[in-house]
Every structure is written in structure tokens, then in C-alpha cells.
A and B are shown apart, each in its own frame.
Chain A
């Protein structure tokens, strides 16, 4: 069962990357066109991507309730935090500012390594630096 998990994760990553490329979300300019409410040319495409992604996933959550364990592991490892914290809101706000500035979030940035490697790599490296900064300065107090 252990050996089948890696191909499952790889297939999920492949599908996710293919979906990003099909959907237009690998294009930072198109993402920015969604975030640009006041340019007079608002592009709703990203909303269709979210809708398309949420539909099968909502079904998956319904199926999950009838399952004792996932198909290829011994237990579900899902987030159980419920509290709405300042970290959650503030961190997401910082992410939103970066998303607005560059038109990129983590998935499209990594997928774009195959499309525009020389342009995507600097963003991905900066993002990894951001992960590292968080890892060393922002430790949860709990």
C-alpha cells in the first residue's frame, strides 16, 4: 500500500498542473485581470476555474463521510483547527497582496516552471525564501 501512494500523489499533481494550464490560471496577466476590478475590463475566468474545481471536490467531501479510511492510507490526515485567528487573516492578507502584485499563487508559479522556466524560477525561489523566513521567524506560540 505504501508504494502506491507516491504514484497517486504524482497523478494528482499531474492532473492539477494540467488543469492549471488548461484553465488559463498559469497566465499571471489573466489572474491580474480577475483581480483588476477598476480597469473596466474585469475578466471573470478565475471564478469559473474555482467553480469547476469546487464541484467535484464538494462531491469528494460527501463520499469521504462514508469512508473509514482513505483508499491507500490507514487514516485521514485533515486539518482540524476551527479557530479564526489573526494569523489566519493576516497571513492570508499578506498572501493576497503578493498575489495582486505578481498575479501568481503557488500552484501556477510551480506549474509555469515547465512553460516559462526563466520567468517562473525567480518567483518560485522568492516564494521558497518566503517559506524559509516564515519557518524561522513566525513560530506558533502554542
Chain B
């Protein structure tokens, strides 16, 4: 394990902010803060979900929130894969898979796990184990970026 690069305190702080955001959506609007569903709704690619204005406001908030932290605390680190193919294939699979599986890390991982939803527990186990397996296979194939 790599504790020298781990940032558990910043991670907990950031995590609590994410949890608060989800709690505001639940207790304020009665909705799940699932980013994949809200993004699909905001871009008119979903027939279900909250009114468009709610979805769009949440999705617009994401980059603004990150941008504010970037301004206040200095540059936020974001090291991307250099290969366009990796980015495009990854994006396509993430987009398709999250809609087919009805959620992503936020909807299933944060909101669903904390609700002890059996569906979300199964979904989270599925995407985390396939995430582990994919990186392991990429390591074996020597295509890890």
C-alpha cells in the first residue's frame, strides 16, 4: 500500500462535502444525486428523472464547485491519460454502462450504499471489481498509461 501518496484527510473532507451535497438533494428536493442520471437528463438524453432545470443546475454546479476550489486552494491536480483512444473508449463505456446499470459512483456508490439498497450494493461490487480487473488486465498487456 502506498501511504506516502495517499491523502486520507483531504479525501475525508472532500467526501463529507460530497455526502452533504447528496443529503441536500435528498432532504431538499427528494431526489438521488446520481451524476450519470442527472447529466443524461441535463443533456436531454433521458426521459426519466427530475425536471430539466433541476438536473441542469446540479450539473452546472459541478465544474463551478471544482473551479472555486481550484482558485482558492491553488491548482487542483488532474493527470489525464495521454492517449485519445483511451479517453474516448473509456468515455463511451462509462456513458453506456452507467445508463444501462442505472447509476454510477454517486447514485449507487454514495446514495445507494448509504441507503443499504441491495441493487446498489450489487452494482457497486460489479463496477469496482470490473474496475480492478480492467486495470489488472491493462497492466498485464502493458497498456497502462
Contacts and interface: CB of A to CB of B under 8 A. Distances in A.
Interface string A4-44: 01111111111111111111111111101101111101111
Interface in B4-48: 5-8, 10-33, 35-36, 39-40, 43, 45-46
Contacts of A104: 90-91, 94
Nearest to A22: B14
**In terms of DSSP, what is the predominant structure of the interface of chain B?**
helix
A10 B81 contact: no
A42 B118 CA distance: 28
A57 B66 contact: no
Contacts of B93: 94-95, 97-98, 101, 130
A127 B91 contact: yes
A95 B98 contact: yes
A77 B1 contact: no
Interface residues of B, number: 114
18 contacts: A7-B57, A9-B29, A9-B53, A43-B5, A48-B8, A57-B26, A60-B26, A60-B114, A61-B26, A91-B123, A95-B98, A99-B131, A107-B35, A110-B63, A116-B78, A123-B80, A125-B91, A134-B95
Interface of A: 5-30, 32-33, 35-39, 41-46, 48-61, 63-64, 67, 69-73, 75-79, 81-84, 87-107, 109-116, 119-120, 122-135, 138
